[in-house]
Structure 1
Amino acid sequence: MMRHLVMFRRLPAVAVDLELEQHLVARMQRLPEQIDFIRGWTVAANELDRPICWDYLLDSSFDDAAAVERYLPHPAHQALVKDLKQYFEWVAVDYTC
């Protein structure tokens, strides 16, 4: 099993737009409906206001590294990434569990 973790935070130069943010997060939450080889998927908002914290976490799992490699260029994922880039920056970690 391969875990794919991504942390998101609002871009510093972008004004907070809660309606847009909620829309983007909802789209993230629905992505497994479009990609049937995602095995696990959780999108969570940060709950503590600390400078070190990022705003959201995506915790996902796939059968293996090859499945992650299929996921990254998937059209549904790429369409979401295009819109996320306007509002968020992110970092990712992929590891075998």
Structure 2
Amino acid sequence: MIRHIVLFKLKPQFTWRDECVVRAERMAAEVGRQVGDLLEWRVGRNVSDRDIAYDFVVMGLVSDEEALQRYLVHPFHQQSVRQWREISDWVVADLEE
């Protein structure tokens, strides 16, 4: 099993009130229903206001490296990536469980 974790930091010119941010958040939530290789999918806003904190997280669980690769290239996931790329920077970790 591989746990896929992505932490997003909104670019300074964006806030949670911006429609493009709201759309990206909604789409991220939908990824778990659209990508069959995801065994688990969680998304959410960070509640911490520390300067080093990221703003949003997605966490997914896939069965293996092949499933992770299918998830990464899935068209719905790629559409979500395009939205987040415009409004944020992010870091990724993939952990074996």
Fold shared per TM-score above 0.5: yes
Higher alpha-carbon deviation: 15-24 or 72-81: 15-24
Alignment of structure 1 residues 32-71 onto 2, 5 Å: 32-71=32-71
Is the Cα contact below 8 Å between 2:39 and 2:61 reproduced in 1? yes
For the aligned residue pairs, the C-alpha RMSD in angstroms reads 1.3
Alignment of structure 1 residues 75-94 onto 2, 5 Å: 75-94=75-94
Alignment of structure 1 residues 1-12 onto 2, 5 Å: 1-12=1-12
Q: Displacement of 1:10 after TM fit? A: 0.5
The residue type paired with residue 32 of structure 1 is G
Q: Displacement of 1:79 after TM fit? A: 1.1
Contiguous gaps of at least 5 residues in structure 1: none
| Counterpart-to-counterpart distance in 1, 2:5 and 2:64 | 14
| Counterpart-to-counterpart distance in 2, 1:63 and 1:7 | 21
Runs of 4 or more consecutive aligned structure 1 residues displaced over 6 Å after TM superposition:
none
Where does residue 15 of structure 2 map in the other structure? 16
Is the Cα contact below 8 Å between 2:5 and 2:93 reproduced in 1? yes
Identity, % of aligned positions: 29
Structure with greater proportional helix content: 2
Q: Displacement of 1:46 after TM fit? A: 0.8
Per-residue CA deviation, residues 4-62 of structure 1 (Å, 9 max, x unaligned), is 000001113x3435232222111100112211111010002111210010001111100
Q: Normalising by the residue count of structure 1, what TM-score does the alignment of the two structures yield? A: 0.91
Contiguous gaps of at least 5 residues in structure 2: none
Count of residues in Structure 1 that have an aligned counterpart in Structure 2: 96
| Counterpart-to-counterpart distance in 2, 1:44 and 1:16 | 15
